[in-house]
Chains A and B, each alone.
Chain A
């Protein structure tokens, strides 16, 4: 059985969950209430249903993965590799076309010259004469080999009389008069097809298939999305079990998984874009899940609007891609990038630059990162799934996927790395002073996404994707752990019968200043949180260590020749140090020392549905680096993902590993000295006082939000105000009101005549009749 036939089922399962929860649930609920002693469906059933469907998608993805590896092994043997080598060639990407999504217009060909204009047509040897002699000539220039393949078709390509201009292929061109290589009947001849592609064409036909693509990269994303998604669904059953909106929550969550799967499975840019937009919509819905609080709704709106700014650039990039390639299919676009995008040309720069801007919006990079910290207003599992593990990595995925376009503009690739480095450093600086447990993780996510961008920009897209995967594990773990700890704190406060106020706008259960000693009170959550934190900090041997240092290594390798990358490398090292520091600070404040509030003192661990995903993710944070093992020559990622994302397999050398270890220990050690339990060797408060200015800057997030507010939001509001007050109220409404007033005024003038006096009417009739009679007399007898 070929499991790949069922590839469509992977996104279809969560979609089915969404539809069932939204459409069928109310109906089934009403039905069950009508039964004797029926009390409606238990709300928890919605959670289990959604979880089961995502779990089924994950199981199917695992099966697909197994078959993929199996097929790869067979392909490797067929290719004549020694099985002993253990090297399998990556199978060809598998594309599943579900249906023709849209097809507009017809193929047209530009006939550049009439027969009379062609010089000495007779001199062209028999058999080489084509209808579009010019076109064939173009092919000759572009791809000399293709012309040979055209040989048999040449005889049919005769068009004696053709005037210059654009004409559609087909109807009005006589049979046998094939003008374009496009209209050759499909012969299954690959070379012929290449020849057809070598001709710029399809300018007037827009055709997109709803198609899914399975290759190493999308398989990896598939497993991460469904796997982490399944664990987070499971966790949500515990976390959201008491919430009144549980059905709404799980329907959104299922819709998100579906959208994300469309994003990573799409075989062309449009399917990717639809998924891209849908995940943004789900993000909006889930950030504002508790929309009763206007602040949450505002956070959702902010995320959506900032994302739309990036999406706008993305749409323009899609249009440019279509205008250059005449297609949006990955296979077509990427294989033709070298031919159609001259290195350093305007379009070659514009397309990846716009894609980068789009990716910066979705992946929260400078300058569009401001939405992600606010996105923590949503439920914590949502932060874990959408705003840490999956959706925000879409930009990295897309940049890695479209590396063929980025490769045509080295300057944009460098820009990717610079954007990543700036984001990573800025976010890490901000994270060092935050005291909200989720906010630290949010800035850490932005920072780590910056690392991934650095990897992609340095030409080591594989390292970026590798970090994407490990980050998904340990950051999901950290967020879920934070949620579990908040849960524990809430429980503690409840137990102590206390209702503490928010300080600095941070609710008490997520305020790290009130935590401490939670490792003892909530052991499972505490230990797994510790593992996640160490993985993030780059503790040697854990997942984050390998992937992050592969990126740093890639930067280091390029720094020898390029000074820019030397600077980026140093920034990456500094960021790695800061990462270890703020992670250590967080771990110390949360897990160690004495409890700093009754909530922490009375906290207790969460139920198994919440801790089980933590344990699994902790395990993955420890061993999750094995598929991408930088030490092995032929790790799974290097074998199957590298052909898709291009670039080089970075690896890791001893010096790099030693530096990374030293940095991680330095950061963790500094944090331990400043915030660790017992006697503090470094007084953090005095340090804070000494660097009060820097601290205030970081605490206020470098005033970037305020800056954007002044620069964009306020002028926009003024503009909207102008349109409201002047254009709408003044002009549009004014015009309507003016017409109304005119009518009323005219009526006021005329109402006097309507006296109701019959004799007055009779008099006016008489006068009218007299005028009429006088006129008729004038006509008849007047001179």
Chain B
């Protein structure tokens, strides 16, 4: 007995919302980055679930690509976090607002 697709969708929606709230509400750069990852993976979950429900293998392949890119993105993101920490001594997102108008 398989899990119906609606459950997957609901789970990924919940995960995505948690990610969004994390991005919007948390101020630590690392947490923000983690929330972004959460949003990303919520979408991946949607994709896999939809592929399974529709019997389509292509979506699985896309998810692999997406994971790879996400890994690269994390590497860059963490490097930025390190750079920010080194120059500012903190990792508060709100402190990084030098590009204001």
Quick one: which of A754, A759, A763, A766 contacts B100, CB cutoff 8 A? A754
Min Cβ gap B86→A in Å is 19
Within the complex, which residue of B20, B23, B100 is in contact with A755, where a contact is CB–CB below 8 Å?
Answer: B100
Q: Tell me which residues across on chain B come within 8 A of A766, comparing CB atoms.
A: 20, 24
B94 in the interface (beta carbon within 8 A): yes
**B101–A759 contact, CB under 8 A?**
no
Contact yes or no, B24 A759, CB < 8 A: yes
Interface status of A752 (Cβ within 8 A of chain B):
yes
Residues of B within 8 A of A763 (CB): 24
For A751, A762, A763, which residue has the most chain B Cβ atoms within 10 angstroms? Answer: A762
Q: Which residues of A contact B54 (CB under 8 A)?
A: none
Minimum distance in angstroms from B69 CB to a CB of chain A? 19
Bound state CA distance, A778 and B96, in angstroms? 38
Pairwise interchain contact A759-B99, C-beta atoms closer than 8 A:
no
Neighbouring A residues of B100 by C-beta, 8 Å: 754-757
Contact A754 B94, beta carbon cutoff 8 Å: no
Query: Chain B, interface size: which category?
Result: 10 to 19
The answer to whether B97 has its CB under 8 Å from any CB of chain A is yes
Interface string of A742-783 (1 = CB under 8 A from B): 000000001111111111001100100000000000000000
- Does B61 make an interface contact (CB < 8 A)? no
Let me know if A758 and B93 touch, CB within 8 A. yes
State which residues 706-752 of A face B: CB under 8 Å: 750-752
Interface residue range, chain A = 10 to 19
With a CB–CB cut-off of 8 A, which chain A residues contact B57?
none
Q: Which residue of B lies closest to A748 (CB)?
A: B101
A756 touches B99 (CB 8 A): yes
CB pair A758 B96 closer than 8 Å: yes
Query: Are B20 and A754 neighbours in the complex by a CB distance under 8 Å?
Result: no
B14 → chain A closest CB, angstroms: 16
A766 CA to B17 CA in the complex, in Å?
Answer: 11
B20 x A756 contact (CB < 8 A): no
Q: Which single residue of chain B is at the shortest CB-CB distance from A751? A: B101
Residues in B whose Cβ lies below 8 Å from that of A754: 99-101
Residues on B with C-beta less than 8 A from A753 are: 101
- A757 / chain B contacts, CB cutoff of 8 Å: 93-94, 97, 100
Complex: A753 Cα to B99 Cα, angstroms: 11
Chain A residue at minimum C-beta to C-beta distance from B21: A766
**Is B98's CB within 8 Å of the partner chain A?**
yes
- Contact residues in A for B20 (Cβ distance below 8 Å): 766
Give the CA-CA distance A759 to B96 in the complex, in Å.
Answer: 10
Q: Is the CB of B24 within 8 A of A756?
A: no
Query: Could you mark each residue 1-43 of chain B with 1 if its beta carbon is under 8 Å from any beta carbon of chain A, else 0?
Result: 0000000000000000000100111010000100000000000
| CB <8 Å contact, B23 and A762 | yes
What A residues does B23 contact at CB under 8 A? 759, 762
* Across-interface contacts of A750 in B (CB, < 8 A): 101
Q: How far is the CA of A752 from the CA of B20 in the complex (A)?
A: 24
Q: How far apart sit A751 and B94, CA to CA, in the bound complex (Å)?
A: 18
Measured between alpha carbons, how far is A751 from B99 in the docked complex, in Å?
A: 11
Question: B23: nearest residue on chain A (CB-CB)?
Answer: A762
Nearest chain B CB to A678 CB, angstrom units: 96
Look across to chain A and name the residue whose beta carbon is closest to the beta carbon of B96. A758
Q: How far is the CB of A589 from chain B (nearest CB, A)?
A: 82
In Å, the complex CA distance between A766 and B96 comes to 20
Q: Please judge, given known A-B contacts A762-B23, A763-B24, whether A756 and B98 are in contact too, CB under 8 Å.
A: yes
CB distance from A773 to the nearest CB of B (A): 12
A717 to chain B, nearest CB (A): 48
Q: Least Cβ distance of A420 to chain B in Å?
A: 78
**Distance between Cα atoms of A422 and B92 in the complex (Å):** 96
A-chain residues with CB within 8 Å of residue B24 when the two chains form the complex: 759, 762-763, 766
Q: Mark A673-690, 1 if CB is under 8 A from B, else 0.
A: 000000000000000000
A interface residues with partner B (beta carbon < 8 Å): 750-759, 762-763, 766
Of the A-B pairs whose beta carbons lie under 8 Å apart in the complex, a sample of 28, sorted by A's number, is A750-B101, A751-B101, A753-B101, A754-B99, A754-B100, A755-B97, A755-B100, A755-B101, A756-B96, A756-B97, A756-B98, A756-B99, A756-B100, A756-B101, A757-B93, A757-B94, A757-B97, A757-B100, A758-B32, A758-B93, A758-B96, A758-B97, A759-B23, A759-B24, A759-B25, A762-B24, A766-B20, A766-B24
